[in-house]
Structure formats: structure tokens, C-alpha cells
Amino acid sequence: MDDRIPAGRLADVAVAAARTGGTFLAGEFRNGEVDAEYGTDDVKAAVDREAERRVVAAIRDAFPEHAFHGEESGRNGDHEYTWVIDPLDGTNNFASGLPSFATAVAALRDGEPAASAIYEPLPDTTYRAEAGGGATANGSPISAANDLPLDRGTVSLVVGLRAVRDPDRRTEAERIEAALSARCKRVIQTWSPCVDWGLVARGSLEGIVCFHPDVYEQYAGELLAAEAGIESESRDGLYVGAGNPETLAVLRDAVDSAAAGATESAEPT
């Protein structure tokens, strides 16, 4: 007997959980001093932990036996189904009062994304995706298709925290940014990848490049974009996605040229 949970059911729970966390965050935003530990490249805020607690509680109400992998609490449990949670994607923005953050939830079955949700509480936008079932924003189908030329376009660059903290990878990320900037109008690093994933999935950004991204946002965002029909390639800690094959080819070439430049600079003279 097939005991798999329907992707639609998982997506419904992901949406409810993400909205629970995001609604809490909206109430706390710009509501006095942010209780947090401030580092040079990251912020750990009390609201992250409380939002994650609420997200986990919402999922456990539906699936108490499932495992969890939260950005704040780490891995908990072992199960066919694992829920990957970023309770506050964009903590630095939140702490600075910048209105760009989201809550992300992804349900994995045997390590593969089956459903996901991203909730941006300030514009009250809910993104929902289920494997093989498409993607929506506030209930309406969305498409990543986009034919705006890159010389007029915007591309998101997402660099994972571990890459930021590694000098060699940080240098490579800088090369990638320079190569992308030479080929498009604007490269953005918003520090809230899930906000960017939503924009890519609805065709508002021309592409996205993720360099050693953090899993907490990547699972939810990548499934959303895939179900919205994005053209993409993944390899060795790198994800490149675009609204059409031609743009994907240009972005891939930019990333490859950055890698080639790194190899040439490392060769002895």
C-alpha cells in the first residue's frame, strides 16, 4: 500500500506553519529594540527562536511523528519526512528595520522536496508549491517565464553563510558578482533569499545565482521556482536559474568565466 502523504496536504500544512511564524514576526517588526546577538556577518535574534517554535508547533499538530531541521534548533528526529525551516529569512534586515524578510518551510520525503511555502508577512504574500502540482502566490498560479533582456534586467546573487565565512569562497563569490554585473543591469544581494525566490518564481527577477546557499532557504525556494517553470542548472554548490534558456546560458557563462578567472589567478607564473 502506498502510504505517501499527498503533496497537497503537505503544502497546506507548510502554508499554515509559515503564516504562523510570519504573522508573529510582523507583529514584532519595528516594535522596540531587537533582542539579539550581533556578529559581523550574522544576527541571532530572540524572534527567530520564537518564530521557529511556533512553526514547529503548527507542523507537529498535523504530523507529530515527523522529523525537523530548523535553522535555530538544528536536526530533531529521524523520519521518512523531514521539515526544513527558516523561521526568519532576513534576520539582519529585520534587526535593521528593513522590510525584507520571510518565513520558509519545506517538507522533504526521503531527502527530496515534496512541498514548500514562503510567507512574506509585510506584503501579506503567501507562496505555495507542491512537487508536480505547480506554484501559486496568494492562490493564483505563477510563472517564472521572463524575456526581459539582461541589459535591462536584475539578477539575485545568494551567497551562503559558510561561503561568506570562507576567504577563498568569499573571493570566488566576489568574482561571480563582478561577472554577473558585466552582463546585466543590476545584481542584488538582499540578505533575504526567500523574498528573491518569490520574485524569481513570479517572473519579476530575470534570474538567480546561489553560491553554496544555506539549505534552510534553498529547499523551499528551489521547489517554488521549479514548479513555476524556471530554467535551471545545479552543480557543486552552485545553482543558476533564469526565466528563459537564453538568459540561463548567459548567467551560466558568467559563472563559468568567474571560475576560470579563479583558476588562472591560482596558476604559477
Mean pLDDT, rounded, for 214-222: 97
**pLDDT top residue among 39 and 269:** 39
Nearest Cα neighbor of 100 from 180, 26, 182 is 26
* Whether the domain at 7-141 and the domain at 150-266 fall into the same CATH topology: no
Residue 268: which pLDDT band, with cuts at 50, 70 and 90?
very low
The Cα–Cα gap between 45 and 173 comes to 26
Residue 40 clears pLDDT 90, i.e. is over it: no
The Cα–Cα gap between 196 and 230 comes to 13
Residue 265 clears pLDDT 60, i.e. is over it: no
**Can you give the pLDDT at residue 269?**
45
The Cα–Cα gap between 79 and 68 comes to 9
Nearest Cα neighbor of 188 from 153, 228, 220, 222 is 153
| Residues 83 and 107 sit within 8 Å (Cβ to Cβ) | yes
CATH architecture of 150-266: 3-Layer(aba) Sandwich (3.40)
Reported pTM: 0.93
**Can you give the pLDDT at residue 44?**
73
Residue 41 clears pLDDT 80, i.e. is over it: no
Q: Is 75 helix (H, G, I), strand (E, B) or coil?
A: strand
Q: Is 211 helix (H, G, I), strand (E, B) or coil?
A: strand
Q: Which grid cell is 259?
A: 571560475
| Residues 192 and 90 sit within 8 Å (Cβ to Cβ) | yes
**Can you give the pLDDT at residue 42?**
65
**Can you give the pLDDT at residue 264?**
52
Fold of 7-141: Fructose-1,6-Bisphosphatase; Chain A, domain 1 (3.30.540)
Spans of all domains in the chain: 7-141, 150-266
From the DSSP assignment, how many helices (H) and strands (E) are in the chain? 8, 15
Q: Which amino acid is present at 214?
A: D
Share of the chain above pLDDT 70, in %: 93
Residue 34: which pLDDT band, with cuts at 50, 70 and 90?
confident
Measured over the CA atoms of residue 38, residue 39, residue 41 and residue 42, the dihedral's sign is negative
Instruction: Please write the tens of the pLDDT for every residue from 54-75.
Output: 999 999 999 999 999 999 999 9
**Can you give the pLDDT at residue 259?**
86
Between 2-6, 105-109, 128-132, 175-179, the lowest mean confidence (pLDDT) is in 2-6
Residue 262 to residues 208, 256, 257, 259, Cα–Cα distance (Å): 21, 10, 9, 5
| Residues 102 and 87 sit within 8 Å (Cβ to Cβ) | no
Residue 36: which pLDDT band, with cuts at 50, 70 and 90?
low
Nearest Cα neighbor of 231 from 217, 218, 250, 216 is 250
